Amino acid sequence: MTTCFCLVRHGETDWNGEKRIQGQIDIDLNAIGEAQARAVRAGLAEHSFAAVYSSDLLRAWRTAQIATAGLGLAVSPAPTLRERHFGVLQGVTAQEARVQRPDVLHHHQARTPDYDCETGESLIVFAARIMGELGTLAARHAGQSVLVFTHGGVLDIVHRAATGRALDVPRDFSLPNAAFNWVEHGDAGWRLISWADCAHLQRALDEMLE
């Protein structure tokens, strides 16, 4: 049986605007992000879901709470769907890292699969965490539709899994704040349905290019 997922990146934060790497640092939404979450709620009104899950990081959790208010959907915390831990790059911009840690930034931008940014997660470990959890949810909700609130890095991994794209290939698809991204899981594995639907939004920043 097929499980359908609607994956939503959290609303905008001040650090998104600054292009500052958030990782697992717990940053809240800004006013634009809250407005995006309300727009998500309006966009979700025409859909129905058997379950809703959210990363427990504040920016995703707040997006989920605002977006599901009044829709009769209870949100379950899913810590395993947190953003990747970017090690020593967390809290800095690419420009700052270019001065402070050019060696680490090089591996990050090259998407070296087994590099953990010193004290963080490698792409290999991160991908295993994300796809393992989504596989568990797919089995739990076989034949149903599931709504998930999460992060840009998580969506990057899911898109690659659904299209057969390697972890170290440069990204050529967008990851906007608060967009709708639809994938499904069935006997043949993961399949992309539609991506980066922003029709309900007035503004949506893309995830930092790596």
The pLDDT tens digits of the residues spanning 20-46 come to: 999 999 999 999 999 999 999 999 998
Q: Which residues pair with 181 in a beta bridge?
A: 7
Say if 201 falls within a structural domain. Answer: no
Q: Average model confidence (pLDDT) for the chain?
A: 95
pLDDT (average), residues 47-59: 97
Could you give the residue numbers annotated as active site?
10, 83
Say if 193 falls within a structural domain. Answer: no
pLDDT given for residue 43 in this prediction: 95
Say if 55 falls within a structural domain. Answer: yes
> Considering just the CA atoms, what is the radius of gyration of the chain in Å?
16
Say if 148 falls within a structural domain. Answer: yes
Q: Sheet of 180-186: strands edge to edge? A: 75-77, 51-54, 145-150, 3-9, 180-186, 189-197
Say if 197 falls within a structural domain. Answer: no
Say if 175 falls within a structural domain. Answer: yes
Dump pLDDT digits (tens) for 64-105: 999 999 888 899 999 999 999 999 999 999 999 999 999 999
pLDDT given for residue 205 in this prediction: 65
CATH number at residue 75: 3.40.50.1240
**Is 210 a residue whose pLDDT tops 60?**
no
pLDDT given for residue 203 in this prediction: 67
Give the number of domains in the chain: 1
Say if 207 falls within a structural domain. Answer: no
Domain hosting residue 113, numbered range: 3-188
**Is 149 a residue whose pLDDT tops 50?**
yes
Say if 210 falls within a structural domain. Answer: no
pLDDT given for residue 159 in this prediction: 98
